[in-house]
Chain A
């Protein structure tokens, strides 16, 4: 028996590797996960070199933009000043409306909304394959980041935290095929789920054929589930089709965020009720 094993050890080793791989595949089809310490260890191992290269590139880019590429700076400055003035006025108006809204909610006896604590993070890595869409950011469990936390930018939703290491975390992007986010159409409040397709667009699934959705409509987070603040922009409807049989419309949306240009994000930490 031992002689058999000694003679066939190479074959047995290959069979072992194959069996191990197939076991992992089978585990995933049941949506179970590997022990997270493996992920944490690997993520932690790769974080320092990613951080260093990211910083090095950031410095080089800064040097270029601050000292060498100053051709349009004057024009940009003027444009930004005028935009800032407009936004300041808009901001004052919105603040006033928000205060009025809160007063009215108080009068009506509505429960106070969740407020969310956010921390900024920098993108230091991306998915090493072309098939899936994820990012690596430089904040982890040391900064109280937890799995499932929402990741956003001022433009809109980026995705959610998939794995967390001590000083970095893996973000599953909105456009990844495994991403699903509960959403509503801002104009009509029609409900659906924004599903990633792996491409630059997403689908707005489960919107009934009776729902009023047209190209140009903005899709925002519903706030259900408590991970994402409600009203965060997910994208804009670019295609609607009622032709297919079934109960639901075929709706495609263009995400609000340009994922190829994301450098800084905000992580939404657990919500708390304001007193």
Chain B
């Protein structure tokens, strides 16, 4: 599978994930995981910089146009998180599902800070504090349970093996050393 096909497949999976999050009959109607975060992590680890960033932006855009989220909110977060993963890749290797779990934790913590800033400073939803914390907690728990499974599935589906990832890592760091 070449890079473009793989990226198209990941984008398709991203759309499917958004669709799944919109289904009204799923058990997590109130406690909903952020499944797009797993797709962003996969893109952050495996996709080329520009195309990966573009896809993260597109997924954020899709999510927020189908939701009540103010425009720009989701895109900025996913783009920022994607770039952070790229930055962290300079220091760490992210090859296993456990590392994806760690990234999900980082993502959810960042989301707390980001949404706090947006909700309380930019949009001035001052009365939300208690509910905000509960929503974030439930979302984090659900994301940490479902996210790694989704990541593992996506990784398998897009034929990203450990060896492939390792080869990419070596190429990436080799380039940097040059």
Q: Does B72 contact A (CB under 8 A)?
A: yes
Segment of B23-31, B96-104, B152-160, B168-176 in the binding face: B23-31
What is the predominant secondary structure among interface residues of chain B facing chain A?
A: helix
Tell me the bound Cα distance from A28 to B139 in angstroms: 25
Which residues of the partner chain A approach B105 to less than 8 Å between Cβ atoms?
none
Known: A126-B29, A132-B68, A197-B128. A25 touches B73 (CB 8 A): yes
Q: Does A267 contact B (CB under 8 A)?
A: no
Segment of B5-13, B38-46, B59-67 in the binding face: B59-67
- 7 nearest A-B pairs in the assembled complex, by CB-CB distance: A132-B68, A24-B72, A25-B72, A199-B131, A128-B21, A24-B71, A125-B22
Which residues of the partner chain B approach A132 to less than 8 Å between Cβ atoms?
67-69
CB < 8 Å neighbour of A14 from B19, B21, B73, B83: B83
A residues near B (Cβ < 8 Å) are 9-10, 13-14, 17-18, 20-29, 34, 38-39, 42-43, 46, 49-50, 53-54, 57, 61, 123-136, 162, 170, 172, 176-178, 197-199, 203, 260, 263
Tell me the bound Cα distance from A61 to B62 in angstroms: 30
**Using a Cβ–Cβ cut-off of 8 Å, how many residues does chain B contribute to the interface with A?**
46
Q: Does B18 contact A (CB under 8 A)?
A: yes
Would A14 and B71 count as touching, CB distance under 8 A? no
B residues near A (Cβ < 8 Å) are 18-19, 21-25, 29-32, 34, 49-50, 53-54, 57, 62-63, 65-76, 79, 83, 115, 122-123, 125, 127-128, 130-132, 134-135, 138-139
Would B19 and A130 count as touching, CB distance under 8 A? no
Most buried by B among A10, A128, A177: A128
Would A129 and B69 count as touching, CB distance under 8 A? yes
Q: Within the complex, what minimum Cβ distance (angstroms) separates A106 from chain B?
A: 44
